[in-house]
Amino acid sequence: MSRSVSLIAAALLLASPALAQDKVAVRKSPPRNYGVGQAATPAQIAGWDIDVRPDGQGAPPGKGSVKDGEKVYLEKCAACHGEFGESAGRWPQLAQGKGTLASHDPVKTVGSYFPYLSSVFDYIRRAMPFGDAQSLSNDELYAVVAFVLNLNDIVDDKFVLSKETWSRVKMPNENGFYDDDREKSEKAFWNSRPCMTDCRPPVKITGHAAVIDVTPEDKTPRKGGVE
């Protein structure tokens, strides 16, 4: 019996032991309404519904210019992300990195990696400034996103971001992603008869974690007791 069917059967068992004996009846019966939970009002939903999609669905009213965004950014973002989005310390870098994705040292930023305007807008709207989430006004939000786009040379200095100008923003790496293809590209890993004996030539150690020595001191006993 599949799990989903068994779940329904379990649910019905609680309500009606007689029905649960009959699997066919279980499958055909409409989902039970338990009368649990209240109707969510439009006002309740509106207060929490802050997601934005690539096509701009969900974007709030408001607008903000690159110029206004610079003020917000310098006041609320630059301490971690750097004045030019270069990152201060270990916080995420927001700008530069163009042309590095195929290199040995890829730098993933809004300009080099994010595929959609919404991916950055939605994130800042819900999670930034770090530790003071959802504190920006809609106009500040539009402005600071416009400024981050400008840091990445995606919009010019005069740009004003709003629902109306949303679709004009084209992110450079929009086509940089493709759907999970492991079942094709890694098909060779489906091998239920792996080699068991003499599978490879003698093995050499080519790298040591202890030599790199970045493991934290953690009081676990690492020395073997064997003389």
3-state secondary structure of 209: helix
Q: Pick the binder of another protein from 18, 43, 158, 227 (CB under 8 A).
A: 227
Backbone angles phi, psi at 143, to 5 degrees: -65, -45
The stretch near another protein (CB under 8 A) out of 19-27, 120-128, 146-154, 160-168 is 120-128
- Which 127-156 positions form the footprint of another protein (CB under 8 A)? 127, 130-131, 133-134
Residue 139's CB is within 10 A of a number of other CB atoms, namely: 18
Q: How far is the CB of 63 from another protein (least distance, A)?
A: 22
Structure tokens belonging to residue 111:
């300009």
3-state secondary structure of 219: coil
Structure tokens belonging to residue 186:
């890694």
The stretch near another protein (CB under 8 A) out of 20-28, 142-150, 158-166, 194-202 is 194-202
CB half-sphere exposure, 18, CA atoms < 13 A: 0
# of chain residues touching another protein (CB under 8 A): 100
- Which 27-86 positions form the footprint of another protein (CB under 8 A)? 31-34, 36-40, 44-45, 48-54, 80
Q: How far is the CB of 99 from another protein (least distance, A)?
A: 9
